[in-house]
Amino acid sequence: MDIALAVLGGFAAAAVAPLVVARAGHYGGYLLALVPLAVFAFYLSLAFGADDVAAVSWTWIDALGVDFSFRIDGLSRLFGLLISGIGAIIVVYAAGYLKGDPKLGRFYLFLLSFMGAMLGLTAADNLVTLFVFWELTSVTSYMLIGYKHEYQASRDAALQALLVTAGGGLAMLAGLVLLGIAADTQSIAEINAAGDVVRDHHLYVPILVLLLIGAATKSAQFPFHFWLPGAMEAPTPVSAYLHSATMVKAGVFLLARVNPSLGGTTEWTAALSIAGGATMLLGAYLALNQYDLKRILAYTTLSALGTLVMLLGVGTELALKGMVTFLLAHALYKGALFMMAGAVDHEAGTRDVRHLGKLARAMPITAAVAVIGALSLGGFPPLFSFIGKEVLLEATLENEWGAFWLLLAVVAVSSPLLVVAAGVIAIRPFFQAGGEPPKHPHEAPPSMWAGPGILALGSVVLGLAPVLGQGWLIEPAAQAVAGEEFEVRLALWHGFNLPLAVSAMTIAAGIVAYLFREQLRALTWPVESRVAGTVGPTRGYEGFLVGIKRGSAWQTRKLQHGRLRRYVATTALATVGLVALAAFTNGGVPLAFDVGGVHFYEWFLGALVLGGGVLTAVARNRFFAVTAVGVVGVGVALIFLVFSAPDLAMTQLLVDVLTVILFVLVFYHLPGPMLQARRGVLVRDAALSLAVGATMTLLVLGVVHADRPTDVSEFYAAAAYAEAFGRNVVNVILVDFRILDTLGEVVVLGAAALGAYALLKYRARDPEGDEQ
Amino acid sequence: MNALDVVAPQLALLVTAGILLVLEAMLPGKRRWLPYVALMGLAVSAAWTTSWVIRDDYQTIFDGTFSLDQYSVFFYYVFAGITALVVLSSIDWVNTAGRGKSEYYALLLVSTAGLMFLAGARDLITIFVALELSSIPQYILAGWAKDRRSSEAGLKYLILGAISSAILLYGMTLLFGFTGETVLPEIGAALAADDGANRALIVVAMTMIIAGFGFKLAIVPFQMWVPDVYQGAPTPITAYLSVGSKAAAFAVVIRVFFEAFGADFVSNDWANIFAVLAAITMTLGNVLALVQTNIKRMLGYSSVAQAGTILIGLAAVSASGQEFTLAANAVLFFLAAYAFTNLGAFAAIIAITHRIGSDEIADFAGMWRRAPILAAVLAFCLVSLTGIPPTAGFWAKLYVFYAGVQADLVWLVVIGVLNTTISAFYYLGVVRHMFLGEAEEMSPVRVSPGIGVSVAVTAAGVLIIGVFPGPVLDAANEAVQVFAGG
């Protein structure tokens, strides 16, 4: 119960957030920060509590086996602490960053809802529960990215992020449903316990592919990476929270969560290593030609996400240990860097490094944060991310599979590029001269440097003394990802070994690359800009949107033209087509065609009906056409008469005469001569009529061929007097056997009459109405 | 008398319709209370239905041609609820149109009685008559507005409807010609006794029946009328068509399958037809909805697409045979969830368009400033139509997809998921307009009590079913148990 309260507390806080802000202004932010802080304390208490796992569950939908259930293990705890801890910092930071913004209340509403959704997602133990929170994060992040909705770019970015992540989420839903069916349970813990069943299931590959799509869109893996830089249109607190520390890691979380049941196969290793490696390299490279602080950070985040996915793909104990360590390290330094970028933007009025310089004097604390963050980004000792990188290198080197040399190459190329990015972020704006910021910079208010300061401090402390985080935080998380017990030991100093040597080389290469960055840019930018302009996923996404719109516009013209004549034709044609298909795929309809017993007057009647039909179709005069219709009716009535149904013939004749009279009355009011269709249309209509007629003829012949069932008329004739005491069989059928249907018909006629009366009455009264 | 008791829920509506007409004739002038009389009639009908639930004495009457069972009762409630919400949403519109108030409500009630007959009909002739009973008032109501568009809508609906009825009748006649029976279970027995020699003929009859119902289900290729009629008809009537007649058609099709076409050798054909139609219908509906600029037209295509999604459930029903009631349960749940969601969306749209006098999506820009609650409800309903939690629509889609996977229709479910993604474009596009666009005018949108109740009830329904889907699922499950083992 307390678990649910902690997880869902964010939603409760979100509900009151607008009220709190309305009362207390931006100070309300400080008050609201108490909620994530309390959640943080709760997760801490779980980490140091007696039980390794805390769980709670309610039945949600019995029929589908859906439970509303949470299960907090080591992995959930790590994420919970990050989400609530950084959440508290962000809430405070936003109070400073968005001070005086009239929409601050709404901002907190979405931000805290997002936090609740994230906590729910990482604590969920049921596949559907997980999905519900997954989509909630997509929706709330849509609101947050589009927060500055007065800007077109902001709206487009929000929609793009939503479409990519929510769309991927739906693919994931299909994967989750399949996973639940393959494992025959929806509890994630139970699925992970039955990993072999899932891996051997014939649906394994579809499940893997669908879940990968979900994870890759959420965590911005290649080729779905393009939405993340666009989402930088969001206010900086949102970028810091969603796009570095939490939401983009949800995909990584999902993969880590299902690692015990889906991981370890060749498909898994190949798919994740390739996607992760490609993203890692691409992100590190794309940061090179950027000048906007936030975009640089966004691309390096891509690179980090790729690293995490790649490590999951490698999947050894060492790799998982590295994954968890790197995840924690990245959340700490990237959150700090984003908030630093926001502070610079807030105080200097721009995030373009070309317009910034010598900020260290005016903003010493922010500069310190930037330096620590940048050193972490570059993987310098003695910071925590250095340890993460050491383990990453160790995990890459340890493996013997040939493809891992490729991965090592990826690491060796991307690490120096990240060092360049780190230099651009920290050295250029803070220590070099030049640049004319639009505003005269001051140090940011404490609310905006305290939080990043704490995160940066965390990087330093955990780097110097990793033992502080290893036993209670990293080890349980790594074990939860692996699904088995093993020991995690982290140390800053490993002695002189191969990883250290590689690390030193990459850092050295990075420093050299930083010094020659202008040359690098001159070399790469012309190619990059041309490639991005012609191919690339962003173009693909836009092309997809345009293509869909064009396609449906074309379809609308072709299919939905509004002409009744063609609608009727389509309906008739579709019916004939479906019927023909049904008949042919079932071996055809056996036909009876025997004209031996047909009397001469039956031939005559047939010719009469047929002739009437043809005359109706070719008539050039309305009255002539109506008369011809009348001939058809009379012919049918005569057929009834011949086959000894005089009452039916009588009815038919009456109805027919009435119809003709009605037609004549209506035609009297129609203006002008009958319109003649073009020859092509006439031919088409004739063909269509022939097709419909032929189909019906064949069907009738088929029915005649089939065995004749017992005669119902005999039953009614016998039962009419015996059961209902009536001699007129038709009357008895109408008022006794089928009384309900008769009632219905009477009401139908009544309703039709009522409607016609009402329409006529009011139409006559409304001369300004239409002329139809 | 027993028979009257059994059909009393329908009779209550027919009698109320008569009372409405008589009252208006006797007491001209005082017409404000007419909708409330209609609501009372619906309440009486629902109360009578409830009395049958309490009596727990389900039965068939008229030689098995009409059945009062848990299945029909489920739909009685759905239809009464739908009509009550439509009546509430109509008040403003009818008052503005200023004519034929009693006739409008009377026709609505007659049509609803027809829908209820459809839910319980288990005889070909009864089904046909009930279908006409529900349809003819709809044809008239679609043309009720004074403009040309509405007249055109009514006429198109009537003519295409008549053609579909003809196709349906052909199919029924063929089936009767072959089996000699009109009562569904007896047809089923006759088909089961057949050795398969006339298989082609049976499948042809079945196809024509599906084609005939396809008009009411609004599935491709029988969907042409939908956008024109949805756009032209008075908006409350559009809302009614989008949920009421569609739900009734699905109700009949499920019953026809379980009671007549369940024999093994036809059920595969049935499943194949529906699976293919589902794929085409979803895709075409969604793709066409993308480019719409008119919100009623867009919801028209959306309703086509939604019908396609429900067809996944129908395909799953038939792919797995008569003992597989899970998919039927999914369809019923979907219909109920869809009814709430779509009515909620339409109620909000009615309120907004009544004020701004336009149903172009572009004119909804910045609506959250002018009508925050209406905009929020409309957004919520559109999210539900997309199938995103925590809404009723999410569970509906999940359940149908789940049933599809259980029935080994994975390919169809994947198409369904892709389509859901496409649908997000246009549903959320409206949300974006309302919340992120800029309004040209800032005057607030006033909401009348009738619409207000209707908006509140539907929004609450979507949310409550979205968080606690259990009760509705149980009710749907109980309803389809009628067919279990049958």
Best CA proximity match to B117, nearest among A712, A739, A733, A737: A739
The pLDDT, as a whole number, for residue A689 is 87
From CA A269, how far away is CA A406, in angstroms rounded? 14
Token digits of residue B1: 């008398």
Strands B59-61, A66-72: pairing is unpaired
Q: Distances in Å between the alpha carbon of A90 and those of A29, A251, B97? A: 10, 21, 54
8 Å CB contact of B287 and A159: no
Rg of chain B taking only CA atoms, in angstroms: 21
Share of chain A above pLDDT 90, in %: 19
Q: Select the more confidently predicted residue: A715 or A210.
A: A210
Spatial CA neighbour of A326 closest among A211, A459, A214, A476 = A459
Between chains, do A559 and B224 touch, taking CB under 8 Å as contact?
Answer: yes
Q: Do B201 and A589 touch (CB under 8 A)?
A: yes
pLDDT tens track for A299-334: 999 999 999 999 999 888 888 999 999 999 999 999
Six-digit token string for A456: 């940066």
CB-based contact, B199 to chain A, within 8 Å: yes
Q: Are A772 and B151 an interchain contact pair (Cβ–Cβ within 8 Å)? A: yes
How much is the pLDDT for A301? 92
The verdict on a CB contact (< 8 Å) between B174 and A699 is yes
Which residues of chain A have a CB within 8 Å of the CB of B132? 744-745, 748
CB A425 within 8 A of CB A370: yes
Query: Which residues of chain B have a CB within 8 Å of the CB of A710?
Result: 180
CB contact under 8 A, A747 and B432: no
Is residue B130 a contact partner of residue B173, using CB atoms and an 8 Å limit? no
Entry pTM: 0.83
pLDDT of res. A309: 93
Interface list for B 436-465 with A (CB within 8 A): 436, 438
Which pLDDT does position A402 carry in this prediction?
59
Residues of B in contact with A555 (CB under 8 A): 284, 287-288
Nearest CB neighbour to A712, from listed B147, B180, B291: B180
Confidence of residue B259 (pLDDT cuts 50, 70, 90): confident
Asked if A547 has any chain B CB less than 8 Å from its own CB, the reply is no
Closest-CA residue in chain B for A62? B470
**Considering only residues 178 to 197 of chain A, which have any Cβ-Cβ distance to chain B shorter than 8 Å?**
178, 181
The domain locations on chain B are 268-486
Mean pLDDT of A626-644: 86
Which among B63, B132, B167 has CB closest to A737? B63
Residues A639-659: what's their mean pLDDT?
A: 82
Q: What is the pLDDT at residue A769?
A: 39
Closest approach of chain B CAs to the CA of A575, in angstroms?
A: 6
Whole-number pLDDT of residue A654: 84
Residue in A628, A713, A698, A703 with CA at minimum distance from that of residue A663? A628
CB < 8 Å from B in window 130-169 of A: 131-132, 135-136, 138-139, 142, 146, 149-150, 155, 158-159, 162-163, 166-167
Please spell the DSSP secondary structure of A498-534, one letter per residue.
HHHHHHHHHHHHHHHHHHTHHHHHHHHHHHHHHHHHH
Nearest to A709 among B104, B180, B417 (CB): B180
Q: How confident is the model at residue A357 (pLDDT cuts 50, 70, 90)?
A: confident
The position carrying tokens 């690490």 is A415
Contacts with B148 from chain A: Cβ below 8 Å:
770, 772
What percent of chain B stands above pLDDT 70?
A: 95
Backbone torsions φ then ψ of B105, nearest 5 degrees: -70, -35
Q: CA-CA distance, A750 to A756, in Å (whole number)?
A: 10
Is the pLDDT at A86 greater than 90, yes or no?
Answer: yes
CB B279, CB B210: distance < 8 Å: no
Highest averaged pLDDT of the listed ranges A585-594, B30-39, B314-323: B30-39
Give residue B65's Cα distance to chain centre. 23
> From the CB of residue A672, how many other CB atoms can be counted at a distance below 10 Å?
5
What is the distance between the alpha carbons of residues A187 and A191, in angstroms, rounded to a whole number?
6
Does position B486 have pLDDT exceeding 50, yes or no? no
List of chain A residues whose C-beta atoms are within 8 Å of the C-beta of residue B160: 564, 567-568, 571
Task: Please give the pLDDT value at position B108.
Answer: 94
- Nearest CB among B207, B291, B398 relative to A553 is that of B291
Secondary element (H or E) of residue B179: helix B148-179
Tell me, yes or no, if B177 comes closer than 8 A to chain A by beta carbon: yes
Task: Check the CA dihedral B223-B227-B230-B232 and report its sign.
Answer: negative
Q: Contacts of residue A740 in chain B, CB cutoff 8 Å?
A: 3, 7, 61-62, 65-66, 117, 126, 129
CA distance B349 to chain A (A): 22
Of B133, B163, B417, the CB nearest to A748: B133
CB distance from B162 to chain A under 8 Å? Answer: no
Backbone angles phi, psi at A670, to 5 degrees: -80, 135
Element (H, E) at A71: strand A66-72
In Å, how far is A613's CA from the nearest CA of chain B? 17
- Residue B131 tokens read as 């279908």
pLDDT in tens, B281-329: 999 999 888 888 899 999 999 999 999 999 999 888 877 665 667 888 8
Lowest mean pLDDT among A420-424, A749-753, B194-198: B194-198
pLDDT of the residue at A570: 82
Residue B436 has its nearest CB partner, among A149, A560, A582, at: A149
Element (H, E) at A66: strand A66-72
Is A748's CB within 8 Å of B136's CB? yes
* Total beta-carbon pairs less than 8 A apart between chain A and chain B: 273
Alpha helices in B241-371 (DSSP H): 246-259, 264-290, 295-320, 326-356, 367-370
Closest CA to A159 of A234, A106, A210, A215: A234
CB contact under 8 A, A579 and B201: no
Contact call for residues A579 and A697 (beta carbons, < 8 A): no
| Chain mean pLDDT for chain B | 87
Sorted by where each begins, the domain ranges of chain A are: 264-515, 711-772
Residue B3: predicted pLDDT? 79
For residue B201, what are the CA distances in angstroms to A698, B93, B178, B359?
11, 48, 8, 47
Is pLDDT above 80 for B415?
Answer: yes
Chain A contact for B136, CB < 8 A?
yes
Q: Other CB atoms closer than 10 Å to residue A65's CB: what's the count?
A: 17
Picking from A568, A582, A741, the nearest residue to B129 by CB comes out as: A741
- The number of C-alpha atoms within 13 Å of B130 and in the hemisphere containing its C-beta is 29
| Segment among A760-769, B232-241, B455-464 with least mean pLDDT | A760-769
Q: Residue A367 and residue A423: Cα distance in Å, rounded?
A: 13
Q: Is B63 on the interface with A (CB under 8 A)?
A: yes
Rounded to whole angstroms, the Cα distance separating A50 from A397 reads 37
Asked if A741 and B65 come within 8 Å (Cβ–Cβ), the reply is: yes
State whether B273 and A181 contact (CB < 8 Å): no
Q: What span, in angstroms and rounded, lies between the C-alpha atoms of B137 and B168?
A: 19
- State ipTM: 0.77
In terms of C-beta density within 10 A (0-12 exposed, 13-18 middle, 19 or more buried), how is residue A121 classed? buried
Identify the band that residue A621 occupies on the pLDDT scale cut at 50, 70 and 90.
confident
Give the Cβ contact number of residue A175 at 10 Å: 27
Of residues A589, A741, A766, nearest to B204 (C-beta): A589
- Over residues A710-725, the pLDDT tens digits come to 566 666 666 666 666 6
Distance from CA of B351 to the nearest CA of A (A): 24
For residues A139-148, average pLDDT: 78
Burial B260-272 (b: 16+ CB within 10 A, else e): bbbbeebbebbbb
Of B125, B284, B435, the CB nearest to A149: B435
Helix and strand numbers (H, E) in chain B are 21, 2
Q: Which of A152, A176, A740, A759 to mutate to test the interface with B (most CBs of B within 10 A)?
A: A740
The pLDDT of A527-550, averaged and rounded, is 70
Q: What pLDDT does residue B485 have? A: 59
Q: In the numeric block, which tokens belong to residue A3? A: 């678990």
> In the predicted model, is pLDDT for residue B93 greater than 90?
no
Asked if B413's CB is within 8 angstroms of A738's CB, the reply is no
Tell me the pLDDT tens digit for each residue of B361-384. 888 888 888 888 899 999 999 999
DSSP for residue A292:
B
A433 and chain B in contact, CB less than 8 A: no
Model confidence band, residue A763 (pLDDT cutoffs 50, 70, 90): low
Cis bond upstream, residue B9 (ω within 30): no
What span, in angstroms and rounded, lies between the C-alpha atoms of B158 and B152?
Answer: 10
Interface of B with A in 378-397 (CB under 8 A): 383, 387-390, 394-395
B207 interfaces chain A, CB cutoff of 8 Å: yes
